[in-house]
Amino acid sequence: MQPMIDPTEIEAAADRIAPHVLRTPLLHSAPLSERHGADILIKSEHLQLTGSFKVRGSANFVHSLDADTAALGVVTASSGNHGIGVSTAAASRGIAATIFLPSTASRSKVDQIRRLGAEIVTVDSTDSNDAENAARAHADAQGQPYVSPYNDPLIIAGQGTIGKEILEDGGPIDTVVISVGGGGLISGIATWVKAHSPGTRIIGASALNDRAMAASIEAGKIITPHFEPTFSDGTAGGLEDDSITFAICRDLVDEWVGINERDIATAVTNMIDDHHQLVEGAAGVAIAAATAHAAKAPGSRIVAVSCGANVSSDALARMIAAAG
């Protein structure tokens, strides 16, 4: 069983992106640990420069381009954290970025992308797939590199630097819990962790309302299952048919768990009450899954990857209400 990317690519990514991202803290959560009977740590990517882990993969991609290719500028499609990450990485290299957005993109994220100097193209559709198709067509027509949010070895390697930091900063770890959308984050982390600490378990956590990767693993092939709205909007959506993350997740993830909407909301509000820190719904998925796992593994050392903090005031209000 060979991973689709090599850990040496993650090592190279760590050196490449170090000037452009934060090495986020691995924080021990005394309240969660006491409440759930395990040693629970939070890898705090919600404190990342852009409020999300996504800038790691984007920076690795952008700073891997040769000078002639970089001069063409980069293109992507996103309604959130990936677009912010690509815009940030492009600005750090002084190159152009064009971000295609669906008409439903939040004003706050659109404004943040615009402030970073990217060109914004709004697609007259509520479907993010239409924005992606338009972005790919534009990139192909202009001969520009397209930055995938997850389906690219450079993106996966950039996200894998989180796994490197976890093992360097955390010592022996029994379990790492990661929320899963397209699978770039968990693929990168699992590649590094399984190479350097093969006994550490990797748990993939998804919102029960939207679990494309978990359902695809169960089916043995990439499928598009029925989905419902979720507080974990950062992990929502389907997989590309040729996604390289599918095989990595199939081979390296030990367990898959689903988290309901109330538990996502409770995890988010607990982070506010316990640590006075804001996290988004996708981070709540991982934190909720980590606390649930603690009940099955008392006394163990568990890391929850808190992937981001980019949540609107409206979404936060709805989560506070749902948590009761």
Task: Look at residue 86 in the predicted model and tell me its pLDDT.
Answer: 98
**pLDDT at residue number 20:** 97
Q: Are 85 and 17 in contact (CB under 8 A)?
A: no
Domains of the chain, with CATH numbers?
7-53+152-323 (3.40.50.1100), 66-142 (3.40.50.1100)
The per-residue pLDDT for 2 is 46
Q: What's the whole-model pTM score?
A: 0.95
What confidence score (pLDDT) does residue 315 get?
93
Closest CA to 217 of 174, 183, 175, 261: 183
Listed in sequence order, the residues at least 6 apart from 222 whose beta carbon sits closer than 8 Å to its beta carbon are 216, 239, 240, 241, 243, 246
What per-residue confidence (pLDDT) applies to 1?
Answer: 43
CA 15 – CA 60 distance, rounded (Å): 9
Q: At what angle do helices 7-17 and 153-170 cross, to 10 degrees?
A: 80
pLDDT at 126: 75
pLDDT digit string (tens) for the chain, length 324 residues: 445 799 999 999 999 999 999 999 999 999 999 999 999 999 999 999 999 999 999 999 999 999 999 999 999 998 789 999 999 999 999 999 999 998 877 787 888 899 999 999 999 987 777 888 899 999 999 999 999 999 999 999 999 999 999 999 999 999 999 999 999 999 999 999 999 999 999 999 999 999 999 999 999 999 989 889 999 988 988 898 899 999 999 999 999 999 999 999 999 999 999 999 999 999 999 999 999 999 999 999 999 999 999 998 999 999 999 998
Rounded (5°) CA angle 190-198-22: 45
* H-assigned helices in 171-211: 184-196
